[in-house]
Amino acid sequence: SNYSQEPTRHPSLIINAKEPFNAEPPRSALISSYVTPVAMFYKRNHGPIPIVEDIESYYIDIGGLMGSSRKLYMRDVRSLPKYNVTATLQCAGNRRTSMSKVRTVKGVGWDVSALGNAVWGGAKLADVLELVGVPKFTSVTHSGGKHVEFVSIDQCKEENGGPYKASIPLSQATNPEADVLLAYEMNGEPLNRDHGYPLRTIVPGVIGARSVKWLDSISIIAESSQGFFMAKDYKMFPPSVNWDNINWDSRRPQMDFPVQCAICSLEDVNAITPGKVKVCGYAVSGGGRGIERVDISIDCGKTWFEASRYQKPGISYVADDISSDKWAWVLFESIVDVPTSVEIVAKAVDIAGNVQPESVQTIWNLRGILNTSWHRVQVRVGH
Ligand code: MTE
Ligand code: MO
């Protein structure tokens, strides 16, 4: 593996690890547009960025526990109906740095920007699987297939130089309403190398780790993928588990992400003049659960008031609005009067009534995933 042919990236990205390249935008970039520009979208890799030169001869193999197998070329993918799905992709390690302050965790550190909201264009996986004889709404094939595994062409050190792999249940893959895509576009442009050129999976509402980039093959398998990132990573353990007593098989691979929000208009280091302060950020939940509410407090959670939410700038968001983007974040905004130095807190509630936990201590886990605790920023009033 080597890193001599990495793509060029935007200079304002904050680099959390150089090789493999892992970077997130500054907080403020996330709230400057509803759809995150490709250049400002976080980049999460486990190896060098692959190069696919000849798009005409590029294909993915589809096979496994099913009727038939075949090679799928880009022209085959493009011949299927094209869908544009607005979906927020979020790394399970988002906000890991603040969890690591409780107790050391393993993994790349991230502030609050290991996520982004994009319009993904491509074919539905449910349509692709139909091409090889797997009907819509199948949960098990005649030969016992229950999961769909995606294998990449990249080379990851955790796989000893082998490819990145992940799987999702067949029932989700064959459900057109789940909007699982084989995507070749991001925000109306061909995917770029960092984000999976020429073809990647997008699994809306699920942690980013299952949206495999740079596809090489897809296969129907009986059990969930035994790849490192499914079996030995991206699982949520209780706070009592440490590296001496960990039993990876005791937990299932994390799929949906929980309700999350973060304030992006302020950093802990900001010194402001007393008066009105704009508190803006994002809120998102997994599994297609929309956001019901975002609450703001400036007295450590004793009293709260509600922020306004929108998906289209200027139009407030209604959680049960049929036209709302169910896989996508809402942005929120609130004007707060800050007379003295305070901690500003935000928490979101999703449409199932799930609410973010108050403290990061209670959800600490050794891999540092799913830090969805109330988001706090310290605002210093200076002069
Ligand atoms: N796919 C491959 N082939 N290799 C990877 O390292 N990283 C995963 C996922 N798909 C990864 C991958 C993880 S952990 C995340 S969070 C998302 O891709 C990040 O996607 P992005 O870099 O397009 O933001
Ligand atoms: Mo991730």
Q: Give the mutation target among 22, 30, 90, 91 for probing the ligand 1 site: most ligand atoms within 8 A of CB.
A: 91
Residue 163 CA, closest ligand 1 atom number: 3
* Bridge partners for 15 per DSSP: 23
Give the Cβ contact number of residue 239 at 10 Å.
13
Give the pLDDT of the chain (383 residues) as one tens digit per residue.
589 999 999 999 999 999 999 999 999 999 999 999 999 999 999 999 999 999 999 999 999 998 789 999 999 999 999 999 999 999 999 999 999 999 999 999 999 999 999 999 999 999 999 999 999 999 999 999 999 999 999 999 999 999 999 999 999 999 999 999 999 999 999 999 999 999 999 999 999 999 999 999 999 999 999 999 999 999 999 999 999 999 999 999 999 999 999 999 999 877 888 899 999 999 999 999 999 999 999 998 999 999 999 998 888 887 667 678 999 999 999 999 998 999 999 999 999 999 999 999 999 999 999 999 999 999 998 76
Closest Cα to atom 17 of ligand 1? 208
Closest Cα to atom 3 of ligand 1? 213
Residue 200 CA, closest ligand 1 atom number: 1
Contacts 24+ apart (CB under 8 A), 105-109: 105/364, 105/365, 105/366, 105/367, 105/368, 106/366, 106/367, 106/368, 107/367, 107/368, 107/369, 108/16, 108/17, 108/22, 108/44, 109/16
Q: Does the Cβ of 49 fall within 6 Å of ligand 1?
A: no
Segments making up each domain of the chain, as ranges = 14-250, 260-381
First to last CA, the chain: 52
Q: Give the mutation target among 45, 210, 217 for probing the ligand 1 site: most ligand atoms within 8 A of CB.
A: 45
Q: Give the mutation target among 192, 213, 230, 232 for probing the ligand 1 site: most ligand atoms within 8 A of CB.
A: 213
Q: Does the Cβ of 210 fall within 6 Å of ligand 1?
A: no
Distance CA 259, CA 38 (A): 24
CATH of domain 14-250: 3.90.420.10
Alpha helices (H) in 14-148, listed in sequence order: 27-30, 74-79, 96-100, 125-131
Closest Cα to atom 10 of ligand 1? 212
- Topology of the domain covering 260-381: Immunoglobulin-like (2.60.40)
Q: Which value does ipTM take for this structure?
A: 1.00
**115 CA to middle of ligand 1, Å?**
11
Q: Does the Cβ of 115 fall within 6 Å of ligand 1?
A: no
Q: Does the Cβ of 113 fall within 6 Å of ligand 1?
A: no
